[in-house]
A and B are shown apart, each in its own frame.
Chain A
Amino acid sequence: MTTNVPAYEVHAGEHGGAKPNFLNVTKGFMSWAATLDHKRIGIMYLIGVTAAFLAGGLFALLVRLHLWEPTGLLFDNATYNQIFTLHGAFMVFIFVIPAIPGSLGNIVLPIMLGAKDVALPRLNLLSFYLWVTGTCFALYAILAGGFDTGWTFYAPYSLYSTQAVISIGLGIFILGFSSIFTGLNFIVTTHKLRAPGMTWFRMPLFVWAIYATSILQVLATPVLGITILLVAFERLYGVGIFDPRLGGDPVLFEHFFWFYSHPAVYIMVLPAFGIISELVTVHSRKPLFGYKLIAFSSIAIAVISFLVWGHHMFTSGQSTYAMFAFSFLTFFVAIPTAIKEFSWVATIWKGSIAMNSPMLYTLAFLIIFAIGGLTGVILGALNVDIHLHDTYFVVAHFHYVMMGSIALAFFAGLHHWWPKIFGVIYNEGLAKLACGIIFVGFNATFIPQFVMGSRGMPRRYATYIEDYQPFHQASTIGAMVLGAGVALMVGYLVHSLLAGKKAMQNHWGGVTLDWLSPTPPPLENFDEAPVVTTEVYDYSTLDLKTTQTPVR
């Protein structure tokens, strides 16, 4: 994509050398806490969601350790139930949903569009502080005795439980607003702040992905909000909407809950798809195969995702017509997703493939997501789902898409944009090693879960019958390996901030505006406002010199 932006600018003598970038242009605590700069907000999100991920991961390791023994190794049942609930709630609401849009989306999307910032910077900061507030409520809920309803807090158990359900409910309600405002901001930014010459079909696919995500965030999250409010009213006043003793219907709760939570999983995965789209093209130095199909498939997935929530409830006693419709549409949503996967593979084929760490994480994603997506298809078949519902097969499926795909895409994106954001590069050898350990550990954790789930091992079990022990033990060992890989990754990434080598101006050789801005970007992203004159992934415009010239 040629523009009138010089690939890099060096102004010797001004400010004693390199121009100030967004990291050092102002200093001090308040310059970060009260910042309106989308890049700084993104970094604050990054720190926050990483902490949430590590906390959620710690709960996961406790869960797996406890399940080493059939009678439970570490906790009594009630405590175990709290721990798996915390793992789910932290990971879903505090980590996965906000992570990619809040961190990489915030930092990268405006630069990709050629804008100076998002459309509503104060709303952006508010979104971040709402995330912080919601997380504080969650922490308070833990201190107030915890909660053991599962992250899905089904009625009527969530109505009768004597634990801190309302506290965590309020936390999730506030986190929901953070999500809504982030999505709202990105939609307006995409519509109104594109650089001159950037038509919709010249936008990078990461923007399309975030745009589709944002539609879901804005339209689906309010339904979760009202569900939480109703549960809170039910607990406080006994309004009786979900409580069968008062005339209510527990299955109505399930409908309300999944009407949000199914689009929620696409809120989680679409940004990951966006990252992978960017990475396959840059690291194969080849334009994306089927750009328009990938862009439209994101929108198609967003729309269809509103119509399939009932596939979480096939055993709840739905009518056969409902089962028909939900199963049919569930298979339908598999097709745009398959198109993406095939398009990515076709992009890599006959490219110029750089086997660096972002690409390794991307390849790991493509393999793991194939398994995750395909097992979703298995679950879409009605009678098979009846056997597999609420077993470890489902647990393995969603961990393949959420951890193995989304988290891995998040790691890939971090590695990919790390040199751009911070101007330093991490230790490549350790990165490759960590990727390998994570890949092996992840599969070792969850493949046994597919097997035991298909053999009937139910989920959310604090204890289990002895027959399943070998699978649980294998899974636990895998989890420890996975944890080690993640720890290594965090280690070398943090180390790079303290003592990393300087990155190149355009470290990987991308041609979208995010790679053409200075490294790290200045406060308003560009020294001169860019104008777009060519198509989006045109590598003939790549100035190879910038991939060899270090940041000053």
Chain B
Amino acid sequence: MISTLIQDPKNYVENPAKLPVLSDKWGQLEPLASTFDHVDGLFYFTYVVCIFFFVLITGVLALSVVKYRRKTFDQPAASNVTHNTPLEVIWTIIPLIIVMVMFVWGWKGSNDMLVAPADARQYKAVAKQWNWAFSYPGSKVQSYNELWLEVDKSAAFTLQSTDVLHAFFLPGMRVKRDVVPGRQQTAWFRPTKTGDYHLFCAEYCGQDHSKMYALVHVVTADEYAKKPWDVLKDSTPAESIASGENIYKALCISCHSVNGTPGTGPSWGGAKGLFAKDGDKVIGRAREVVLADGSTQTVTVDEAYIKESIAMPNAKKVAELPYRNNNMSAFADLDERRVNCLIAYMKSLASN
């Protein structure tokens, strides 16, 4: 159970050169998003009120302890007053007024945050264990674990989950919404400053909950027009393999190793991996699989098998234990270019 330091990279993005920057520091004066004002103002107000009451309470206690300390064992109390109606009324009414102010302010703020403006761009974020897939309006290419937005343009997100509860949390934008499987939720905001921001999953979802990270790039209109999310580099075989490796690290590394080490899912490499080297050629290995009806079959790994296994993982499950008892989420909407990059990467892992 206690293992050595984990060597995983901290974020699985397709441009690993860009490291996350905490550009959404609390207390930064310039608003970073349209949601800022609502939240920060009330937070600071409440914070000041809390400090006031804390100082008051601690002050009275400190003063009491100094002034009225019992010096002899028979010293009676300095006063036996048990009521002071004006005081009791004041300390009931004034907190009541303060909290009602906080309530109204909070409610109005949250109402504004709930309803997206009509001109907001419609994005989709699909959460699954343990990565994010983003779809863009007017584009057929998804991006994984990285999101590009245009500054000063409202963005509304449809949030979906394919498995368990997740949450869509951008601290810099003060936005959070649970992503509930079986439901569609929405969240919106308008970023007002360019830069890179964190997106965390904020609802515990299992093993790699803490690794379900996405990097959000808020870019200028010019840059956005160039469709920067279409980052998939697959024009040469070398590029495809490199992209395949990135996709592997984004989507598959949690369960599949590439060096023969057993995991939740079968390893892609090693003696029982997908492909074997036969001189110059790369050929698929044979493996025993279990079909949905329980019968077993021997298949040879090929592109069709891999594509089926990605889109419908339970159609043919590897028969060996524990793999036949474990489950893989379906990646039914992984676009074809990415699938081909993955296959190129898998083939590059072929060993003797």
Interface core residue of B96, B103, B113 (most chain A CB under 10 Å)? B103
Q: Which of A155, A245, A366 contacts B61 (CB 8 A)?
A: A366
- Asked if B106 is at the interface (CB within 8 A of a chain A CB), the reply is yes
The answer for the CA separation of A256 and B209 in the assembled complex, in Å, is: 24
Q: Which of B47, B54, B60, B61 contacts A378 (CB 8 A)?
A: B47
Which residues of chain B are within 8 angstroms of A317 by Cβ–Cβ distance?
177-178, 180, 183, 185
Contacting residues of chain A (293-314) with chain B, CB-CB under 8 angstroms: 293, 314
Q: Which of A77, A456, A462 contacts B169 (CB 8 A)?
A: A456
Q: A285-B70, A290-B83, A389-B202 are in contact. Are A370 and B169 (CB under 8 A)?
A: no
- Asked if A443 is at the interface (CB within 8 A of a chain B CB), the reply is no
Which residues of chain B are within 8 angstroms of A335 by Cβ–Cβ distance?
92, 95-96, 99
- Asked if B105 is at the interface (CB within 8 A of a chain A CB), the reply is yes
Contacting residues of chain B (1-53) with chain A, CB-CB under 8 angstroms: 1-3, 5-6, 8, 10-11, 20, 22, 24-26, 35, 38-39, 42-43, 46-47, 49-50, 53
* Interface pairs (13), CB distance under 8 Å: A69-B5, A290-B83, A290-B88, A316-B178, A338-B92, A348-B65, A353-B68, A377-B46, A383-B39, A383-B42, A384-B39, A389-B176, A465-B22
- Asked if B205 is at the interface (CB within 8 A of a chain A CB), the reply is yes
B160-168, B273-281, B307-315: which lies at the interface: B160-168
B103 touches A461 (CB 8 A): no
- Asked if B195 is at the interface (CB within 8 A of a chain A CB), the reply is no
* Dominant SS among interface residues on chain A: helix
Which residues of chain A are within 8 angstroms of B164 by Cβ–Cβ distance?
156-157, 160
Q: Which of B65, B74, B88, B208 contacts A293 (CB 8 A)?
A: B88
- With an 8 Å Cβ cutoff, the count of chain A residues facing the other chain is 100
Q: Give the size range of B's interface with the partner.
A: 35 or more
- Asked if B107 is at the interface (CB within 8 A of a chain A CB), the reply is yes
A75 touches B1 (CB 8 A): yes
Which residues of chain B are within 8 angstroms of A447 by Cβ–Cβ distance?
none
- Asked if A202 is at the interface (CB within 8 A of a chain B CB), the reply is no
Q: Which of B1, B75, B87, B182 contacts A244 (CB 8 A)?
A: B182
Q: Which of B46, B65, B178, B206 contacts A384 (CB 8 A)?
A: B46
A370 touches B200 (CB 8 A): no
Contact residues of B with A, CB < 8 Å? 1-3, 5-6, 8, 10-11, 20, 22, 24-26, 35, 38-39, 42-43, 46-47, 49-50, 53-54, 57-58, 60-61, 64-65, 68-70, 73-84, 87-88, 91-92, 95-96, 99-100, 102-103, 105-107, 109-111, 113-114, 163-165, 167, 169, 171-172, 174-178, 180-183, 185, 198, 200-211, 213
- B324 nearest CB across to chain A (Å): 13
The answer for the CA separation of A230 and B352 in the assembled complex, in Å, is: 52
- Asked if A51 is at the interface (CB within 8 A of a chain B CB), the reply is no
Which residues of chain B are within 8 angstroms of A367 by Cβ–Cβ distance?
54, 57-58, 61
Which residues of chain B are within 8 angstroms of A380 by Cβ–Cβ distance?
99, 102-103, 106
- Asked if A4 is at the interface (CB within 8 A of a chain B CB), the reply is no
B60 touches A75 (CB 8 A): no
**Nearest B residue (CB) for A367:** B58
A375 touches B50 (CB 8 A): yes
Q: A156-B181, A290-B88 are in contact. Are A378 and B43 (CB under 8 A)?
A: yes
Q: Which of A332, A352, A390, A548 contacts B76 (CB 8 A)?
A: A352
B22 touches A467 (CB 8 A): yes
